[in-house]
Amino acid sequence: MAVYLPFEEPIKELEEQLEKNIKLQKEKGVDTTEIILQIEKKIDETRKQIYSNLTPWQRVLVSRHPERPYTLSYIEYLTKGNFIELHGDRGVKDDKAMVGGIGEIEGHQVVLIGQQKGVNTKMRQYRNFGMPNPEGYRKALRLMKLAEKFNKPVITFIDTPGAYPGIEAEERGQGEAIARNLMEMANLKVPIICIVIGEGASGGALGIGVGNKVYMLENTWYSVISPESCSTILWRTADYKEKAAEALKLTAQDMYKNKLIDGIIKEPVGGAHTNPEETFENVKKVVLKDLKQLKKISPEKLAEERINKFCAMGVVNEE
Amino acid sequence: MGWFKRLTEGIRTPSKEKKEIPEGLWYKCPKCGHTVISEDFEKNLWVCEKCNYHERIGSKEYFQILFDDNKFTELNPNLTSADPLKFVDTKKYVDRIKATQKKTGLKDAVRTATGKMNGDDVVIGCMDFSFIGGSMGSVVGEKIARAIDYSIEHKIPFLMISKSGGARMMEAAFSLMQMAKTSAKLALLGEAKVPYISLLTDPTTGGVTASFAMLGDLNIAEPNALIGFAGPRVIKETIRKDLPEGFQTSEFVLEHGFLDYIVERKDLKDKISQSFNLLKIK
């Protein structure tokens, strides 16, 4: 059964009609070919219409769609299976919410890292809903240092509702782990490409997000806080999440306009999950183009450009 | 019936607490209730003489404590917030900024300055919690970044005093990127081998903990400060369990290996001076 978001109700109704007509033809031998074609056309149109006018909150919902592809699916496609997953932070344990390893994309040897959400109830728990603990960030850093040592570009996939807020996370220094990643990533002497593929929640996302190039897929969000938490804090109730989503300017389109990301990667109409391969191809094109370009830049220059880019972010008045 | 029934007999408020205290003249410790004359409290560096509670103070007080003769030159004092997102919640962000500036007499949540500390040059950045919870937006990030630039250029040690609820929501992703900006600058400070001490004070949480506050060559804290990434309320709601006693205090963070030492306010200046001196490259 497909999962429909609240605003996809018209699509759901049409698809139910479609199913009925297919059934009618199969079981009762009624010729509904004409109707089926009409409904299919209508579905396409409706979907296009809905998806060309998504509100920021609706994009947040698409970014969290349970059927959306996650990091390991991207890695699998991009590397065509020429990938070895590496585990552990060498300190505490292996964080299942942060995955990474070495692989090859069309001849480019790279290190791939990303937050990983689970594909079903059991796996979602196993992956801690994509919320890394400090060891996740330290594992990511270890892999980045490995990349630097062997001069391999780093590609990160960002998809997290936030770094995990727990007792052990605090005991093991969640803040320090993220902070160190920001500092080390800024100065890493190999190319870094970051892509927000789902949710980009705050420091938990930025912890693997300091790249020479930072992209967002079309239906993702990236901000300092989730719309729900923002609503709770500023309006003192969770009822203003739609309004908060608008105020935060968290969509790929707004982030690009504000020059906080380098580009937007197209998704199929209806979201990444409706045609994962098309999504992966779009990502691959961008990654290959950047790899070719960034590999020409000297290690020192790469770090310098990255640092300058992030240091230019922010808007102030100077009297 | 029984709505207004007194359940426990007698007047239970100690008369000392009931007493009306004229504002400004006396200070009453919120922790132990000890009352002192404000002037004496200031002389004791805003620390309760009875229970050692370190009252939250701002940049004005820290500069007074740390800079010799309270003499310093403020860096970039005129940077103000630009409201890039035209943010509105229950109030317009620009109005909130204006009202806070008026109320506090501050331009934003951090002040940076350079001067002498026990005779040696130092650059100090200090956050003001009274300015929208010491939250970090573009101005805070930019001022800290420029203070670090100044430290690098003049090879002067950098001290950052953090006191913040985290990133400023009203500047959304711009605030978030200040974490990357300040951390990136610290990478350069590190390469220049200019020492950096991060002093964490009550409270230091969120995006500030997850960036410059945890990146000192030395991370130090005042006693019993709240220090953490996630706020205690968020953690409690997530794990649906009570938090252990002393969780996220300076002492807790020291015990778990993320602080070098805890320092009382009376020893602050000398111990920081001593630390910088011992790190000096000869």
The secondary structure of A84-107 as a DSSP string is: EE----SSS---TTEEEEEEEETT
The secondary structure of B239-259 as a DSSP string is: HTSPPPTTTTBHHHHHHTTS-
Average pLDDT, chain B: 94
pLDDT at A56 > cutoff 70: yes
Verify whether the Cβ–Cβ distance B87 to A223 is below 8 Å: no
d(C-alpha A314, C-alpha B68), whole Å: 33
| Contact yes or no for B75/B146 (Cβ under 8 A) | yes
Does any CB of chain A come closer than 8 Å to the CB of residue B36? no
| Contact yes or no for A21/A35 (Cβ under 8 A) | yes
For the stretch A173-182, pLDDT in tens is 999 999 999 9
Verify whether the Cβ–Cβ distance B238 to A166 is below 8 Å: yes
Verify whether the Cβ–Cβ distance A247 to B215 is below 8 Å: no
Q: Which residues of B touch A234 (CB under 8 A)?
A: 89-90, 169
Domain boundaries, chain B: 21-55, 56-279
- The stretch A188-203 carries a mean pLDDT of 98
For the stretch B221-273, pLDDT in tens is 999 999 999 999 999 988 999 999 999 999 999 999 999 999 999 999 999 99
For the stretch A124-165, pLDDT in tens is 999 999 999 999 999 999 999 999 999 999 999 999 999 999
d(C-alpha B282, C-alpha B275), whole Å: 14
Q: Which residues of A touch B247 (CB under 8 A)?
A: 167, 170
Q: Which residues of A touch B206 (CB under 8 A)?
A: 203
- The stretch B62-75 carries a mean pLDDT of 98
d(C-alpha B108, C-alpha B98), whole Å: 10
A208 closest CA partner among A244, A160, A242, A252: A160
B interface test, pick of A60, A133, A224 with most B CB neighbours within 10 Å: A224
Verify whether the Cβ–Cβ distance A172 to B256 is below 8 Å: yes
The minimum CA-CA distance between B6 and chain A, rounded to whole Å, is 33
- Note the pLDDT of residue B6: 66
Q: Which residues of B touch A233 (CB under 8 A)?
A: 169
CA-to-CA separations, A275 to A67, A69, A278, B106, in angstroms, rounded: 11, 10, 6, 53
pLDDT at B5 > cutoff 80: no
ipTM reported for the complex surpasses 0.90: yes
Query: pTM for the whole thing?
Result: 0.94
Quick one: which H or E segment has residue B100?
A: helix B93-104
The minimum CA-CA distance between B54 and chain A, rounded to whole Å, is 23
The minimum CA-CA distance between B17 and chain A, rounded to whole Å, is 32
Q: Which residues of A touch B138 (CB under 8 A)?
A: 314-316
User: Radius of gyration over alpha carbons of chain B, in Å?
Assistant: 20
Residue A250, helix vs strand vs coil: coil
For the stretch A303-316, pLDDT in tens is 999 999 999 999 99
Residue B217 — φ and ψ, nearest 5°?
-60, -35
CB atoms within 10 A of CB A150: 11
Q: Which of B184, B187, B210 sits opposite A175 (nearest CB)?
A: B210
pLDDT at B170 > cutoff 80: yes
Measured in residues, chain A has a length of 319
Q: Which of B76, B84, B181 sits opposite A315 (nearest CB)?
A: B84
The CATH number of domain B56-279 is 3.90.226.10? yes
- The stretch A197-213 carries a mean pLDDT of 98
Verify whether the Cβ–Cβ distance A165 to B173 is below 8 Å: no
Q: Residue A191: what residue type?
A: P
Does any CB of chain A come closer than 8 Å to the CB of residue B94? no
Verify whether the Cβ–Cβ distance B175 to A182 is below 8 Å: no
Verify whether the Cβ–Cβ distance B184 to A248 is below 8 Å: no
B interface test, pick of A208, A256, A311 with most B CB neighbours within 10 Å: A311
Verify whether the Cβ–Cβ distance A182 to B184 is below 8 Å: yes
- Note the pLDDT of residue B14: 66
Of residues A319 and A223, more confidently modeled: A223
A132 closest CA partner among A150, A151, A117, A145: A117
Chain A's closest residue to B176, CA to CA, is A224
Of residues A237 and B176, more confidently modeled: B176
Does any CB of chain A come closer than 8 Å to the CB of residue B79? yes
Please count the residue pairs, one from chain A and one from chain B, whose beta carbons lie less than 8 angstroms apart.
196
Q: How much of chain B exceeds pLDDT 90, in percent?
A: 88
Largest separation between any pair of C-alpha atoms in chain B? 80
Q: If you search the block for the tokens 């729900």, which residue do you land on?
A: A228
For residue B203, cis peptide bond before it (omega within 30 degrees of 0)? yes
Task: Provide the pLDDT confidence category of residue A280 given band limits of 50, 70 and 90.
Answer: very high
Question: Is the sign of the CA dihedral A303, A304, A305, A308 positive or negative?
Answer: positive
Q: Which residues of B touch A225 (CB under 8 A)?
A: 167, 169, 172
Q: How much of chain B exceeds pLDDT 70, in percent?
A: 92
Q: Which of A167, A180, A184 sits opposite B235 (nearest CB)?
A: A167
User: Radius of gyration over alpha carbons of chain A, in Å?
Assistant: 21
